[in-house]
């Protein structure tokens, strides 16, 4: 695996204004359909920090360690949520289920990422807090796992803590990687590196688990995310809207331009936008899902999926262009 994310990066999306390409987003992408041609743009072996895209894998590790939550709250355990009322209530419910409260959270204080939720929170006299930070569901679930497993809750963010070691071993198993790189994510939790291809592979394994291993922790996480996508992101979030449009889809965005998704047939994708921008992610995601054959799945709402990928470029408050993927999901040239 090459550690250089800039090496071999290629265009993934372009920004068009008035019929001219105004800017281009480079990156790496791998799309592995269950049947058909593999699509590779850039270097699939590139080593990345998967950021919050890794949360479904972390949730699998927690279920393996004894975490037992209803699907709605398990989805929140893998969320980068908006900080809407249902998200805050869910995080508190997870904590209360093991006799804890917000004081136990050690994630970085922040405001809700959803502007209306942030306004409401601030208007009631509140400032940045761990409970409103987008990872509070994951941290609440980490604490609940520690209580169930009999592990120390004060040191749950230590990379050598038993919980984090289970997460690491689960990540290595599901990705098939051998990376030992570790850093700290924005929320304060340990973050283990993956290859781009390994991240995609892990999502294919999780998303196909309800068919392949229906009682497994992977299957529990997959069903939770696809059944409660509103808990994974929230209002206006592309991962939430994509999972609503495609039955059984497991999709998770991450900071700095990372995305991964898997389908029930085992098809999967992952990409990394080199400049870290979120702007091209919806267009790239939808084009990649089309290459996977998501539109052919029974129950898929093709119009809703198309809407996820539409990011208009505005001029004077009206659309004058678009952000579009550099490849067509229906006819992209395959590369091995």
The tens digit of pLDDT for each residue in 156-180 reads 999 999 999 999 999 999 999 987 7
Q: Convert the pLDDT of each residue in 253-262 to its tens digit.
A: 999 999 999 9
Which is it for the CA torsion 179, 183, 189, 190, positive or negative? positive
State the CATH class of domain 40-63+159-325.
alpha beta
**Does the predicted model carry a pTM greater than 0.85?**
yes
Chain-centroid distance, C-alpha 145:
21
Task: Give the pLDDT band of residue 329 (cuts 50, 70, 90).
Answer: low
Say what the pLDDT of residue 328 is. 82
Alpha helices, DSSP H, located in 158-216: 162-175, 196-212
Asked if pLDDT for residue 6 goes beyond 90, the answer is: no
Average of per-residue pLDDT values in the chain: 95
pLDDT band at residue 334 using 50, 70 and 90 as cut-offs:
very low
Give the pLDDT confidence score for residue 7 in this predicted structure. Answer: 80
pLDDT digits (tens, 9 = 90+) for 257-285: 999 999 999 999 999 999 999 999 999 99
**Is the distance from CB of 130 to CB of 103 less than 8 angstroms?**
no
DSSP-assigned letters across all residues of 288-326: HHHHHTGGGSTT--HHHHHHHT-EEEEETTEEEEEEEES
pLDDT of res. 218: 98
Domain residue limits, the chain: 40-63+159-325
pLDDT-based confidence at residue 336 (cuts at 50, 70, 90): very low
Does 99 have pLDDT greater than 90? yes
Mean pLDDT value of segment 108-112: 98
d(C-alpha 226, C-alpha 100), whole Å: 28
């Amino acid at each position: 695996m090459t550690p250089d994310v800039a090496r071999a990066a290629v265009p993934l999306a372009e920004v068009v204004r008035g019929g001219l390409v105004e800017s281009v987003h480079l990156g790496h992408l791998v799309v592995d359909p269950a049947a058909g041609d593999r699509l590779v743009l850039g270097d699939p072996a590139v080593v990345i920090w998967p950021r919050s895209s890794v949360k479904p894998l972390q949730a699998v590790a927690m279920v393996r360690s004894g975490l037992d939550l209803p699907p709605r709250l398990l989805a929140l355990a893998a969320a980068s949520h908006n900080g809407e009322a249902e998200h805050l209530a869910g995080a508190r419910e997870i904590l209360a289920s093991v006799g804890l409260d917000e004081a136990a959270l050690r994630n970085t204080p922040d405001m809700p990422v959803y502007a209306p939720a942030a306004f409401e929170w601030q208007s009631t006299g509140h400032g940045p807090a761990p409970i409103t930070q987008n990872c509070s569901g994951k941290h609440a679930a980490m604490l609940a796992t520690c209580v169930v497993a009999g592990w120390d809750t004060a040191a749950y963010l230590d990379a050598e803590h038993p919980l984090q070691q289970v997460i690491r071993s689960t990540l290595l198993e599901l990705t098939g990687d051998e990376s030992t790189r570790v850093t700290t994510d924005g929320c304060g939790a340990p973050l283990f590196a993956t290859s781009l291809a390994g991240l995609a592979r892990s999502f294919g394994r999780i998303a196909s688990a309800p068919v392949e291993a229906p009682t497994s922790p992977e299957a529990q996480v997959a069903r939770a995310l696809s059944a409660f996508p509103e808990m994974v992101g929230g209002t206006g979030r592309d991962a939430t809207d994509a999972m609503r449009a495609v039955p059984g889809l497991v999709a998770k965005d991450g900071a700095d331009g990372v995305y991964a998704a898997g389908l029930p047939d085992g098809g999967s994708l992952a990409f990394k936008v080199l400049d870290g921008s979120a702007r091209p992610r919806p267009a790239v995601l939808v084009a990649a899902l089309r290459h996977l054959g998501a539109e052919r799945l029974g129950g898929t709402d093709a119009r809703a999926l198309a809407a996820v990928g539409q990011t208009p470029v505005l001029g004077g408050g009206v659309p004058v262009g678009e952000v579009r993927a550099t490849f067509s999901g229906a006819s992209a040239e395959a590369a091995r």
